[in-house]
Each structure stands twice: as C-alpha cells, then as structure tokens.
Amino acid sequence: MDDSDLLQQTRHAYDTVARSFADLLPGLDAETALDVAVLDDFAARCRAAGPGRVADVGCGTGRVSAHLAAAGLDVVGFDLSPGMVRTAREDHPGLVFEVAPLHALPLADGALGGLLAWYSLIHTPPAGLPAAAAEFARVTRPGAALLTGFQAGAGERVVRSSGYGHDVEFTNHRHDPGRVAEALTAAGFDVVVRVHRAAQGFESTPQHFVTAVRRP
C-alpha cells in the first residue's frame, strides 16, 4: 500500500467510526493517570513558554484538545478525517478544528507555541517519521514544546479489520521509541523527557511518550 492509499484508508476508517468513537471515549477515559500527568506536564511547558497557539495534530473528536483548553491553552485541532472534525465541532463548539493531514499543516513557519501528536503518528510508516518531524519543526517556534504518544514496538505494521463497533480497516505502526526520538532530534528538537510504560487494561503493547523542545 502506497502513502496515498494509506491516507485514503485512514480517512475513510475514521470518517466511519467518528460518532461511535466520541460516544465511547468522550474524555480521557482511555488514558491512565500517568498518561494524563504527561499531558499536563506538556500543558505546563506550553504555558511557561509564553502565549501562543498550540496545535493538537490528529485531534480526532477533540477530547484531548478540550483537556488542553481547560488547562488554559489556546488550542486548534487538525485531523485528516472530515468526519472526526465535524464530530469535534459538534461536541466542543467553543474550540477550533480544521481538516488537514499532519504532514502538510496549513500553518506559517514558526506559528505555534506547542504541538501535540497524541497517537496520531501511529498511522505514519516508520520511513515517514523524518518528514513528519520536519513538518512539526517547521510550524513550531524556538522554545515550543512538543509531545507525542504512541504504541511502542520495533516498527511493526499491524492491520485491523474492525474498530469502535464498525467493520473498517486500519493500518497502524508500533514505532521504535528510539527512532521517533532520533527523527525529532534530527528535525531540530531537543528531547527532554521519555516515558515508557507497560501495557495496561485492554492494551496489548507498551506505550511510549516523548516530550521535546524546539531548538533555536
């Protein structure tokens, strides 16, 4: 499957499951207390860096965007799926959501004071990580914080044939944490925190979180 086909597959899958996803996970129901603490640390870093818009890239139904907004951040959400964006606007009418892929964000260079990619890189093949990291670096200003979370592995490709009560196909990638950190470093970020935890509850893989700061 080439990049264009993967993009179309991912968009279709999330368009199909958007309303069911929002109903099943209206808030941070899937996150552990540690996960929420990592998100809150990111929010604190964004506030400390000064005023500036923060992007939730791959925002889905806006549940994490809403958490960041409640923490005092000026948040804009971007998602590949028009269905997810429509649902996010319905459920969080006070926030801004736009349709855009993470590798081509409609933002000026250095526009952001922070960027979150919360389980959105999982649909990017390992070979695409450098390009994604470069786009994240392009749209963030020096000193901006970045946080990404993902299922950890060794780059395995996993194809699912159902999700959130629907028969749809997803292609996920369990990224090597070191490879993600290397891509961010090469793009112009300094990695400042890495958190690795074992699978819990319904999870089948370890989870990994990387916090980084955009270099001058």
* Long-range CB contact pairs, 1-6, < 8 A, 24+: 1/171, 3/125, 3/128, 6/123, 6/125, 6/171
CATH class of the structural domain 3-25+32-214: alpha beta
Digit-by-digit pLDDT tens for the chain (216 residues) are: 567 788 899 999 999 999 999 999 999 999 999 999 999 999 999 999 999 999 999 999 999 999 999 999 999 999 999 999 999 999 999 999 999 999 999 999 999 999 999 999 999 999 999 999 999 999 999 999 999 999 999 999 999 877 778 888 889 999 999 999 999 999 999 999 999 999 999 899 999 999 999 999
- CA dist 59 and 110 (Å) reads 20
Of 102, 135, 100, nearest to 121 by C-alpha is 102
63 Cβ contact partners less than 8 Å away, ≥ 6 residues apart: 22, 25, 26, 27, 28
Sign of the dihedral through C-alpha 107, 111, 112, 117 = positive
- CB distance 183 to 130 below 8 Å: yes
Q: Where are the domains of the chain?
A: 3-25+32-214
Residue found under tokens 């990111």: 42
Distances in Å between the Cα of 174 and the Cα atoms of 34, 137, 192 are 20, 22, 22
